Structure 1
């Protein structure tokens, strides 16, 4: 079993430099030049109005434009001005999907309510699988049938935040272009940086700079169907135990829910849930957790370098991956990672606790007819990249232009507001 982790690098701060559907033509936003667009904002809520629906997908039908809601259910959706007569599909696991004409949206305070799925799924005759492990093997074997099998250019928004206790100490955001490879290819994706901004408050880091090494690559590599070897693979799937949980549905599709956990537990081990389409055996969502009770091994797994006066180890690691579908093919749509680290200083009574959150949402895509090995430019990122500081972008409210982004939740928005106040 191979373990996938997000590498964390600790170094001294002084060393750190830095309605009816109306057809529309397929559209891909060229992020190298802004275009005329209208931005619509609002929230997605459960029909009882009691809770926001975070990570809900909003997709403009018959185009390649999409976004997701933040943790507060809030969204920002930018649509080219020449696409006023289109329909937006709003969907989330366990809710009935809803198609909403764009004319329903307003530029502020649009509210969309989703109804929970109430059908008794355990009674649906389509659920016939009896062996959860066999179902997962079938899921892995159908990558070529169910997932993109061509080179694709994807535009995505990436955000990475670090908190020390309740205080935000680092915030990075970027629009990137992913050169996505076929799901059956062994070649890894490459990422181009289109636009980015970052700031960090090193004084609040106790002279310790905590940096994510890998940046957007970390969110990309949790794509289980592209990189199954990072969790499990068909040859050693017997290293895991599988069992069925209560089924659910999304977008009118019935889903098996499979719980899994590693049998071998001498090292950090994975457990979680797989949401598998009952008809096509497609993985549409994965929730992964890494057990890190063995602190010494987990520390070696994550920490590349640290001052000798500290003990650093993770106490919680979890990932989420959602897939999107278009024209019968599925692909990575959204991924997030949440990590909690403890830093113990030898001569300090209290330890420090850091919370690292990163997320990436695909907001546009199109086939890539270019060369298999495109000429690399300086805008290409390395997997070992650490985004350098560029605070100036926070002073411009229109920094993202026509690019769709994940609307900042309240905590992130407060951090952005404070950054802008400091820049004024």
Structure 2
């Protein structure tokens, strides 16, 4: 079965519109399931979709000087009369004493509203009143106050927050969920990793994550980052035998008052198109990229691959010169069990990722010849990767009933460079796009495409913008003929750039270049256990552009070894 996830259309001047080109993936569907096959490693992908407790962190503030730990609960805190949630009251207490509260949401209902009278009381008495549960106890761990039940095993720490020397160091599993502090919505693509280290993971679509922390890192801190939110840092020890919900606070970038918020979206898009040659390099470059692809059935991986590539990126203006890929390191995992009645493998995922570069492979919504098919509207002036940008929404016009794209373009205010885009096949017409995605069918099954979503971003380097990150997600449902029930599948490919080299750039020799139109995980590529040791498998929703910071040093060794 052939599945296409990139549907940029090609048009012919004399022949009119041609059918969409199948540029993206192929899914191979054997009818029979065999034994579990693990390529390169016998590592298993952990199920990260698990319920979690809560890390309550209040507004960012200048913390007062830390008191001695044994005196924290005796500190006097002043609170006004109020009706508020437990979460809000704990934040007020923590703000005055300079500590954050950590607790399990199965123990503490942080959304429960309570009434308190104004007063000046020690922290210990406020906690008794607010929590109203004599079975709870409290412990200081660095700048955090852990709320727990004594019957639940909690590792012992000295009052200063230093861990008692264990008899034997063991791997610590850090589990939790990342949520928006105000809406409590899950945050996908949040990066969770050892601060200053090379170990990291990313939250999935429901905000869940699971990170294996090797022995020797128990005294380190966990850093949680997400685009548009303030970074959170907390000790590894907080997670020991606990699952926590990490509440992230939005980070706002102020817009100068003199900025005129109105703009003409059509004019901005046309101006940005006219400046492509000025903003994007006309010379080839080498890129060091991290790549991954995977297929999930429900919340479980069917297969997953990740790799480091060196990419020969051809100039954007040369539409006929293809990009090239040289494989540096890779690993693949197959996770099939007897309940699976279909096996899907991604074909041409690497090629698809490269072709999502919409500056080089121009889609309809940026092709001057077909802009009339789209309606461009002002979204807002937004912050995009630290730059102020015009947000321009686009969607096909009402009289066009083909499955075209809709989404948002981000255009730099100063340079008018395309910084990125988020778009999808119009959900209103996606049912008409099945033939574009599925070219080879299994007659025993019926497939339904639910969603096809794409993100692309560019970054500035030495005077020009270059492709930085691409991702394609395809959500589909398979149902056996004459059956009322089916299974949900999620197919994704993603590539992120770590480094750009502009000097002495030449095309790779043919024997060095990887075939990008094949099933990557079936390539039989060598697995280097020394290189991958200590890296957790990355859930599909992890934002790898952030995760690259955690593995930069090892990437450098890969490059040095390939020279």
Using structure 2 for the length normalisation, give the TM-score: 0.53
Alpha carbons 2:389, 2:410 under 8 Å: kept: yes
Using the alignment, how far apart are the partners of 1:282 and 1:164 within structure 2?
Answer: 38
Across the aligned residues of Structure 1 and Structure 2, the Cα RMSD in angstroms comes to 4.4
1:151 aligns with 2:284: yes
Using the alignment, how far apart are the partners of 1:320 and 1:406 within structure 2?
Answer: 24
Using the alignment, how far apart are the partners of 2:426 and 2:180 within structure 1?
Answer: 35
Alpha carbons 2:365, 2:371 under 8 Å: kept: no
State the structure with bigger RCO (CA 8 A, min sep 6), 1 or 2.
1
The residue number in structure 1 matching 2:382 is 248
- Structure 2 residue runs without a partner (length 5+): 1-8, 11-19, 40-175, 192-199, 212-223, 239-245, 543-563
Alignment of 1:370-385 (within 5 A): 370-371=505-506, 373-385=507-519
The partner residue of 1:399 within 526, 531, 535 is 531
By how many angstroms is 1:321 displaced? 1.2
Alignment of 1:217-228 (within 5 A): 217-228=351-362
Using the alignment, how far apart are the partners of 1:361 and 1:117 within structure 2?
Answer: 25
The residue number in structure 2 matching 1:348 is 483
1:179 aligns with 2:312: yes
1:164 aligns with 2:297: yes
Using the alignment, how far apart are the partners of 2:411 and 2:190 within structure 1?
Answer: 18
Q: Deviations over 1:92-121 (max 9, x none)?
A: 76569x9xxxxx9x9999x9x986224246
Alpha carbons 2:410, 2:421 under 8 Å: kept: yes
The residue number in structure 2 matching 1:421 is none
By how many angstroms is 1:361 displaced? 1.1
The residue number in structure 2 matching 1:194 is 328
Using the alignment, how far apart are the partners of 2:505 and 2:474 within structure 1?
Answer: 37
Using the alignment, how far apart are the partners of 1:295 and 1:349 within structure 2?
Answer: 22
Alpha carbons 2:253, 2:383 under 8 Å: kept: no
Alpha carbons 1:93, 1:249 under 8 Å: kept: no
The residue number in structure 2 matching 1:34 is none
The partner residue of 1:9 within 3, 27, 37 is 27
The residue number in structure 2 matching 1:282 is 417
Query: Where is the strand percentage greater, Structure 1 or Structure 2?
Result: 1
Specify the SS of the correspondent of 1:336: strand
Q: Could you say if the C-alpha distance between residues 279 and 91 of structure 1 is closer, same or farther in structure 2, counting changes exceeding 3 Å?
A: farther
By how many angstroms is 1:179 displaced? 0.8
The partner residue of 2:273 within 112, 118, 140 is 140
Q: Could you say if the C-alpha distance between residues 274 and 391 of structure 1 is closer, same or farther in structure 2, counting changes exceeding 3 Å?
A: same
Q: Could you say if the C-alpha distance between residues 250 and 155 of structure 1 is closer, same or farther in structure 2, counting changes exceeding 3 Å?
A: same
Alpha carbons 1:197, 1:390 under 8 Å: kept: no
Q: Could you say if the C-alpha distance between residues 114 and 139 of structure 1 is closer, same or farther in structure 2, counting changes exceeding 3 Å?
A: farther
Q: Could you say if the C-alpha distance between residues 315 and 250 of structure 1 is closer, same or farther in structure 2, counting changes exceeding 3 Å?
A: closer
Query: Which range moves more in the overlay, 325-334 or 385-394?
Result: 385-394
Using the alignment, how far apart are the partners of 2:338 and 2:525 within structure 1?
Answer: 17
1:305 aligns with 2:440: yes
